[in-house]
């Protein structure tokens, strides 16, 4: 599958996750999505914050903020919510969790996720 095809697939997966989160009573807002190479470096180059080989640079990743009843979830509550959403994400075809980055949802491309 080409990068462009994966980008289209990612959009559909993201829409599915948003709908699944809503059905579970969660509200999502976008955190990091695309990381412009002019600010963050090309793939493999680290400028600013974030990982040098981030799928955000490929338009294949999003970080979601999770809310319940209008309240931003943190700590154990956020871990629980993201754990539930992670199961949905993988079932839809997304990549498993990146260690230490629970709110990160991506699909793999050439070993990067």
Q: What is the pLDDT of residues 45-54, one digit of tens each?
A: 555 656 656 7
pTM: predicted TM-score of the whole model, two decimal places: 0.85
CB 30 within 8 A of CB 103: no
Confidence of residue 43 (pLDDT cuts 50, 70, 90): low
Helix (H) / strand (E) element for 89: namely helix 75-92
Beta strands in 1-113 (DSSP E): 26-30, 61-68, 71-72, 104-106
Q: Per mean pLDDT, which of 15-19, 38-42, 105-109 is the most reliable?
A: 15-19
Domain boundaries, the chain: 3-31+64-106
Dist. CA 54–CA 108, nearest whole Å: 10
């Amino acid at each position: 599958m080409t990068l462009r095809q994966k980008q289209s697939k990612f959009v559909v997966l993201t829409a599915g996750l948003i709908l699944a989160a809503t059905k579970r009573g969660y509200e999502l807002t976008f955190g990091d999505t695309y990381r412009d190479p002019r600010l963050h470096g090309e793939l493999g180059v680290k400028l600013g914050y974030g990982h040098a080989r981030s799928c955000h640079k490929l338009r294949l990743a999003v970080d979601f903020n999770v809310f319940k009843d209008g309240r931003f979830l943190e700590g154990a509550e956020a871990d629980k919510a993201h754990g539930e959403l992670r199961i949905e994400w993988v079932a839809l075809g997304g990549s498993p969790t990146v260690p230490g980055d629970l709110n990160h949802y991506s699909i793999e491309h050439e070993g990067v996720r």
